[in-house]
Structure 1
């Protein structure tokens, strides 16, 4: 496989922001005396577009708030947390510098809305690494549909044989696989059987950089983690 293009998911891959999303959902729903757990967020909304996320809770609990209002409240909370506490995932800067130095095409394809994308890229000072930035907000269907990854690949003028995706969620992994693009994952729980369909399971971005440098077989890496 001659890899020339790397497309990143954002939340949980570039930045450790998944806890912010969960906290925002738990806090916002608690205002309406609805109690949800971290596991609920992981199982029902992780990796999904903001409007899908809000729709899930509005329908599930018949909330006395509009989808749009819930979206805005959650988004503002997440952005605030990113600006105050956001940290890059370990190995991010090393991997991005390696890719840029070796002339890889670098793209971003995320379920997050543009204001959240801007908050992350500006907070981490990594905007200039990405040639293409795609939000699923601009697609008819968000993840797990493949649209946002196909759009990013097309804009990067790449093809499925030269491209890999880096994801952290089951929803995102399914999106990448639906696009028929090689999809690697760095999940919170590497033993979760839901990730068995990934093309490679890694523990960190450092391990992915090691793989790209040494051209190790991802299946070997997956079996060793």
Structure 2
């Protein structure tokens, strides 16, 4: 393996509570009746897809889809700045990978403008060679496009890339791209491991043998 590509949400930062809060605040203010059944469906969507999903079910008139999406993104960025939420051990783990000669990439379904905020908050911005958002490809995960684009920009063939993911859709994207997958659980017993080549419980243990 020559490159390690990180997912962001749930791997670098525990951002799910931020997204849930921001979406609830913004969509509720527009008259959307959020419920658990539908929010489960939107977890793996991009912000564009989530905004359109709720608009189709509870159309509003006061703002454009783009304006509403931006409201959600800005609120998530505010929460990251205020609360943090970076995963324990991520800074030292990324440093160790870099010192061992790995190229480091990031591929996320989240909007691009959030990425620098997260990486700066986690103290790891300087270690990433390439950062990519699904907004730059036709389809987000589970489509493999974002991982294929990241490996191309890194200059590393997909078979020499290993991906760290916490979601089934992300793992599916990486496998479709022809990459090895590390399932990062962070103590979550509900992570689907069926597509994973390896499992990692925590970044606090700096064993890099699975990346060699």
TM-score (norm 2): 0.89
**Aligned match of 1:94:** 92
Mean alpha-carbon deviation: is it higher for 91-100 or for 180-189?
A: 180-189
RMSD: 2.3
Count of residues paired in the alignment: 211
Contact 1:167/1:186 (8 A) holds in 2: yes
Structure 1 CA distance, aligned partners of 2:27 and 2:112?
Answer: 23
**Aligned match of 2:151:** 153
Contact 2:104/2:130 (8 A) holds in 1: yes
Where 1:114 maps in the other structure, the secondary structure is: coil
Deviations 1:136-173 (A, max 9, x none): 11111111111111111111111232211111222212
Contact 1:47/1:170 (8 A) holds in 2: no
Structure 2 CA distance, aligned partners of 1:181 and 1:171?
Answer: 14
- The one of 18, 24, 33 equivalent to 1:26 is 24
**Aligned match of 2:50:** 53
Structure 1 CA distance, aligned partners of 2:93 and 2:198?
Answer: 17
Mean alpha-carbon deviation: is it higher for 73-82 or for 164-173?
A: 164-173
Deviations 1:46-88 (A, max 9, x none): 2332211212221233343432122111001000001111132
Structure with a larger share of its residues in helix: 1
Structure 2 CA distance, aligned partners of 1:154 and 1:40?
Answer: 35
Where 1:69 maps in the other structure, the secondary structure is: helix
For residue 193 of structure 1, report the CA deviation from its aligned partner: 7.0
Flag structure 1 segments of 5+ consecutive residues without an equivalent: 217-225
For residue 188 of structure 1, report the CA deviation from its aligned partner: 6.4
Structure 2 CA distance, aligned partners of 1:157 and 1:196?
Answer: 29
Contact 2:13/2:87 (8 A) holds in 1: yes
For residue 199 of structure 1, report the CA deviation from its aligned partner: 2.2
Contact 2:86/2:121 (8 A) holds in 1: no
**Aligned match of 1:176:** 174
Deviations 1:82-104 (A, max 9, x none): 11111320110121111011010
Mean alpha-carbon deviation: is it higher for 164-173 or for 28-37?
A: 28-37
Contact 1:8/1:108 (8 A) holds in 2: yes
Contact 1:26/1:37 (8 A) holds in 2: no
Contact 1:16/1:87 (8 A) holds in 2: yes
Where 2:87 maps in the other structure, the secondary structure is: coil
Deviations 1:100-148 (A, max 9, x none): 1101010011112121112112222321100111111111111111111
TM-score (norm 1): 0.84
Where 1:196 maps in the other structure, the secondary structure is: coil
**Aligned match of 2:132:** 134
Structure 1 CA distance, aligned partners of 2:187 and 2:194?
Answer: 12
